[in-house]
C-alpha cells in the first residue's frame, strides 16, 4: 500500500492536512474507486489507517483529511464558522481524491460528525458520487446535551461564535475494546472541544437532514451500533425510513459508537466493502 501526505488551503485560508492510502506497492496502481473520508468530532484521519488497509486489500483508495480545527489542520480547535465552510472543505477533499485517483469513481464516507456532514453535502450540493457510507451519524445525540449548555450556545452563537466548550463526548462509549478508549485518551491529536456555533450547527444539521431525507438522490449505506449512546441509532432508523428506498440500513446489535473499532470490525468492514462492490457493479451494468 502507498501512503501520501499533503496539505491544501481552504477557501478562507486555512491549511488542511490530508493523507491518502492507495492500493498496490507501485505508483500507477489503479484503484477500483476512491473512498473519501470525513472523521468524527475531536479526532483525526490517522485513526482510520486500519480502515485504509482493509479497503486497500479490496482494491479501494482511501483519501482523508483532518477537518478544520482538528488533528494537523489549522483553525481554532473544534470550530467551523458555518456549515457551508465545512461543505466547501469536502469539495476540496473530492478534488484531492481526483488528483490521486484520476478518472476513478468516488464515494463519500463519514463517521459521526462526518456522517452528518456527508449526508448534508449530498442533500445540498448534489455531487456526482457513486454513493455514501455513514457510520454512527450525529443526526441526533444519543444522550442530550444539558439545557444550560444549549442555552449558552444560543446566547454566544453570534456574540462569541468561536467560544469553545467541552464537547461532552462520552469516551467510554466509543468502543467495547478498552484498548481503543485508552489509545483515544492518550492521543495528542485528539481534543475534547467544540465551539458554541459549530456545536449548535451540528445539532441543527442533523434535524435538517432528517426533515429532508426524502430528497436524497444517492445510494446510502447507513450503519449504526445498536448499543451506541453517543449518537442515536433511532435517528438513523428514522432517516432510512424517510429516504424512499435509497438507504441501506444496517444496525449492528450490541456494538458501540465506533463500529470500525469494535471487536467485530472485520465483519463491519467486510459488509461495507461488499456494499461498495455492489454499487460499482450496478454502475458498470448501466453503461
Helical H runs in the chain?
49-57, 83-100, 113-125, 147-159, 178-186, 196-211, 233-242, 265-285
Q: Is 250 left (phi over 0), alpha (psi -120 to 50) or beta?
A: beta
Across-strand partners of 220? 132, 247
Cα(68)–Cα(202) distance, rounded to whole angstroms? 14
Residue 250's closest CA among 237, 263, 267, 264? 237
Catalytic residue among 80, 228, 232, 260: 228
Whether 112 is catalytic is: yes
Do residues 181 and 174 make contact, with C-beta atoms less than 8 angstroms apart? yes
Do residues 191 and 71 make contact, with C-beta atoms less than 8 angstroms apart? no
Cα(22)–Cα(34) distance, rounded to whole angstroms? 9
Q: What is the DSSP letter of 260?
A: G
Do residues 241 and 210 make contact, with C-beta atoms less than 8 angstroms apart? no
Beta strands 220-225 and 131-135, pairing class? parallel
Residue 114's closest CA among 6, 35, 179? 35
Task: Calculate the alpha carbon distances from 254 to 97, 225, 228, 273 in Å.
Answer: 34, 7, 8, 21
Whether 44 is catalytic is: no
CA-based torsion, 20, 26, 27, 32: positive or negative: negative
Catalytic residue among 111, 224, 257, 260: 257
Host H or E run for residue 134: strand 131-135
Catalytic residue among 80, 112, 175, 195: 112
Whether 84 is catalytic is: no
Active site amino acids = 112, 228, 257
Amino acid at each position: 500500500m502507498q501512503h501520501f501526505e499533503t496539505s491544501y488551503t481552504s477557501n478562507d485560508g486555512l491549511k488542511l492536512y490530508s493523507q491518502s492510502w492507495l492500493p498496490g506497492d507501485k505508483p500507477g496502481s489503479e484503484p477500483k474507486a476512491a473512498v473519501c473520508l470525513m472523521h468524527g468530532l475531536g479526532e483525526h484521519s490517522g485513526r482510520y489507517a486500519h480502515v485504509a488497509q482493509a479497503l486497500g486489500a479490496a482494491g479501494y483508495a482511501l483519501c482523508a483529511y483532518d477537518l478544520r480545527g482538528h488533528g494537523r489542520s489549522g483553525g481554532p480547535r473544534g470550530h467551523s464558522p458555518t456549515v457551508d465552510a465545512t461543505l466547501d472543505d469536502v469539495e476540496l477533499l473530492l478534488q484531492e481524491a481526483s488528483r490521486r485517483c484520476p478518472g476513478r469513481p468516488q464515494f463519500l464516507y463519514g463517521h459521526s460528525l462526518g456522517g452528518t456532514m456527508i449526508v448534508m453535502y449530498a442533500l445540498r450540493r448534489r455531487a456526482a458520487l457513486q454513493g455514501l457510507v455513514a457510520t454512527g451519524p450525529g443526526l441526533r445525540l444519543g444522550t442530550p446535551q444539558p439545557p444550560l449548555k444549549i442555552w449558552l450556545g444560543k446566547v454566544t452563537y453570534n456574540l462569541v461564535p468561536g467560544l469553545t466548550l467541552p464537547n461532552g463526548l462520552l469516551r467510554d462509549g466509543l468502543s467495547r475494546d478498552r484498548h481503543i478508549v485508552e489509545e483515544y485518551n492518550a492521543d495528542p491529536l485528539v481534543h475534547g472541544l467544540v465551539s458554541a456555533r459549530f456545536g449548535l450547527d451540528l445539532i441543527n444539521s442533523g434535524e435538517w437532514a432528517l426533515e429532508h431525507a426524502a430528497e436524497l438522490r444517492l445510494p446510502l449505506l447507513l450503519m449504526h451500533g445498536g448499543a451506541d449512546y453517543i449518537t442515536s441509532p433511532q435517528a438513523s432508523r428514522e432517516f432510512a425510513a424517510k429516504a424512499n428506498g435509497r438507504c441501506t440500513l444496517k444496525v449492528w446489535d450490541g456494538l458501540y459508537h465506533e463500529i470500525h473499532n469494535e471487536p467485530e470490525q472485520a465483519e463491519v468492514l467486510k459488509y461495507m466493502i461488499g456494499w461498495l462492490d455492489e454499487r460499482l457493479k450496478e454502475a458498470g451494468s448501466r453503461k
